[in-house]
Amino acid sequence: MTCGPEDGLSELRQMLDRVEALQAVPLHEGLLRRLLPGALTDSATVYFHTPGFRGFESSEIRACGKHSWPAVSITGGDCELQCDHCRAAVLAPMTAARSPDALWRVVNGLVEQGGRGMLLTGGSNRRNEVCYQPFLGAIARIKRSFPDFRIAAHTGLVDEDAALALEQAGVDVAMMDVIGAERTLRRVYHLKRGVADFEASLAALAQTAMRVVPHVIIGLHYGHMLGEWQALRMIARHRCDAVVLVAAMPYHASPRRPFARPDPHLAGAFFLDARATLPDTPLLLGCARPAGLARRQIDSYAVLAGLSGVAHPAEGVVELAARLGRRVRVSSACCATFLLADTDLEDRHLLDLNLDAVLAHEAAARSRARPVRIPVAAVRA
């Protein structure tokens, strides 16, 4: 019997093969070797999030309804920035609340239907600022009336006053995309502001009492990586509660300025880089990433890299986490609420996977292969 990295890689390959939905998913051997030490020894909890701003159902997680954590846009589908990767497409399916009264009505409706929170966002002006100022009173009224209703807001660029105003209105979680390449800002965002403005915004948010959860978009430079590592270094210099990693989706770009699909294997390697740069910060895989095979690859790498959460997981990924010995939790809340995800945000009923059967099968398979080296945690959903 061999013992060592090759043995571990074989063990990991066999485990991946036991997940039917991942059997035809090619994963990079060199990257698997790099992921191996953490993959087979990390027994931490992994949260699978299913916020309702994208309809979601899989064979492992049941649908949870569109009123559970919807996305609400204070500009409807309008955005002045018209970045090349999005062109406001992500705003289109969101619930529009273009006035403070409309926002109040929307939230009242959500609360009546059992909603526990929302993603609050909106299109930017040409300075990459989301104009929340007229809505601050409504946000404060919402938080006074429904203190348990969580608000996770995409802030855009802010100065200290704007960050403080969001905090005082009662926003629970502040999120912003952190961009680390001037060239990406100029070309993709058409923005006449610099990387330093993004770091200053992050610093302003970090000085508030809000949970700060910056996002890094993998492949933001037309599908290729450019400023992502600089973004990690910027984040490392500030107090952040978690970091959401997403990957650029190539579907909304114009044919004249197309986006390539980000390389899933490079995304997987970036998870390890992020883990190394931010060793004490929870890392989460957010909602946005390419579909199909790429999504299954990226999601597999995310679990193998020990990320703390995955939003809208691809088929087989929950089972993979269980087989790796992770404690599986499901929440219909936005993944940026990771640190708020106490028991009242857990939705055990959404899990549609017999974890006991998976664990028993995994334990049996391992015992047939060799003496069990890694104990499988007793997981209950």
Name which of 252 and 275 has its Cβ closer to another protein.
252
CB of residue 219 vs another protein: minimum separation in angstroms? 16
Residue 330: burial class (beta carbons within 10 Å; 0-12, 13-18, 19+): buried
Q: Which of 49, 312, 329, 366 binds another protein (CB under 8 A)?
A: 312
Spatial contact of 273 and 180, defined as CB atoms under 8 Å apart: no
Q: What sign does the dihedral 358-267-198-87 (CA atoms) show?
A: negative
| Residue 260 found at the interface with another protein (CB under 8 A) | no
Question: Is-contact 94 72, C-beta < 8 A?
Answer: yes
Considering only residues 40 to 79 of the shown chain, the ones binding another protein according to CB under 8 A are 54-59, 63
Token pair 């995409």 is at which residue? 154
Residues numbered 91 to 120 that lie near another protein (CB under 8 A) are: 93
Nearer to another protein, 52 or 117 (CB): 52
The CA angle 381-20-324, to the nearest 5 degrees, is: 45
Least distance from another protein to the Cβ atom of residue 279, Å? 32
> Taking CB under 8 A as the rule, does residue 20 contact another protein?
yes
Q: 238 — phi, psi (to 5°)? A: -135, 165
One residue of 292, 343, 368, 371 binding another protein per CB under 8 A:
292
State the minimum distance, in angstroms, from the CB of residue 300 to another protein.
14
Contact between 89 and another protein by CB under 8 A: the answer reads yes
Q: Are strands 215-218 and 243-247 parallel, antiparallel or unpaired?
A: parallel
**Beta carbon nearer to another protein, 181 or 351:** 351
Task: Say how many residues touch another protein, by CB under 8 A.
Answer: 24
Q: How many residues does the chain have?
A: 381
d(CA 332, CA 97): 22
Chain positions contacting another protein, by CB under 8 A:
20, 23-24, 54-59, 63, 89-90, 93, 249, 251-252, 291-293, 295-296, 312, 314-315
